[in-house]
């Protein structure tokens, strides 16, 4: 099994329910970060996001896990219209233990994770060893920690 971290975000529709449904449909969930309200980064003017990071143990290959991410987005009726635009659900692989990939359709570790506070704050909650001691100096943006995704969650 490989330790992996997924970043999930939503700012369209019932974001809380979309995030909960995505987490509930994932296999191998080890931990779910607290929920954060975050300012959008890049892209057009849009509403704030709700973001979490999920730790999983998986036997999937990186490309198989990417397929899972795309299926979760499709199940939430994600439509890709504007780069970094509003979305019902965005699921990214941010890190996998021992995996480095730089391909057109997949980069692990995620190339912009360290500069994004909406990824690093929840990642640091779950895995300070992965986030590193200096993540606060590198990550940009504003986040507000809201608390657990759901009391009954994993």
Q: Pick the catalytic residue: 90, 114, 116, 117?
A: 90
Domains recognised in the chain with CATH numbers:
2-147 (3.30.70.560)
Strands (E), the chain: 2-10, 29-32, 35-38, 49-58, 90-96, 101-103, 106-108, 143-147
**Residue 92 among the catalytic residues:** yes
Mean pLDDT over all residues of the chain? 90
- pLDDT, one tens digit per residue, over 99-124 is 999 999 999 999 999 999 999 999 99
Asked about 87 being catalytic, the answer comes back as yes
Nearest in space to 148 (alpha carbons), one of 132, 126, 119: 126
Q: Looking at 20, 92, 114, 117, which residue is catalytic?
A: 92
User: Cα–Cα distances in Å, from 29 out to 14, 52, 59, 145?
Assistant: 22, 13, 12, 21
Rounded to an integer, what distance in angstroms lies between the CA atom of residue 123 and that of residue 113? 10
Its pTM stands at 0.91
To the query of whether residue 39 is one of the catalytic residues in this protein, the response is: no
In sequence order, what E strands does 11-142 have? Answer: 29-32, 35-38, 49-58, 90-96, 101-103, 106-108
Question: Which residue's entry shows tokens 């606060």?
Answer: 136
From first to last of its 154 residues, the chain has per-residue pLDDT tens of 999 999 999 998 899 999 999 999 999 999 999 999 988 777 667 788 999 999 999 999 999 999 999 999 989 876 666 565 678 899 999 999 999 999 999 999 999 999 999 999 999 999 999 999 999 999 998 899 999 987 444 4
Q: Is 69 helix (H, G, I), strand (E, B) or coil?
A: helix
Q: Give the 3-state secondary structure of residue 4.
A: strand
Rounded CA-CA distance 149/151 in Å is 7
90 is catalytic: yes
Query: According to the model, what pLDDT value does residue 103 have?
Result: 95
pLDDT score for 108: 97
């Amino acid at each position: 099994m490989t330790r992996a971290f997924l970043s999930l975000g939503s700012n369209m529709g019932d974001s809380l329910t979309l995030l909960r449904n995505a987490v509930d449909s994932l296999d191998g969930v080890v931990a779910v970060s607290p929920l954060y309200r975050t300012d959008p980064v890049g892209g057009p003017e849009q509403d704030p996001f709700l973001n979490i990071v999920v730790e999983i143990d998986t036997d999937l290959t990186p490309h198989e896990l990417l397929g899972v991410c795309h299926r979760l987005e499709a199940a939430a009726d994600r439509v890709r219209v504007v780069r970094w635009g509003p979305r019902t659900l965005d699921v990214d692989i941010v890190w996998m233990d021992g995996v480095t990939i730089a391909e057109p359709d997949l980069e692990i570790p995620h190339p912009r994770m360290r500069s994004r506070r909406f990824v690093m704050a929840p990642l640091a909650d779950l895995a300070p060893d992965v986030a590193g001691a200096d993540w606060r100096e590198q990550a940009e943006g504003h986040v507000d920690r809201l608390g657990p995704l759901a009391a009954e969650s994993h």
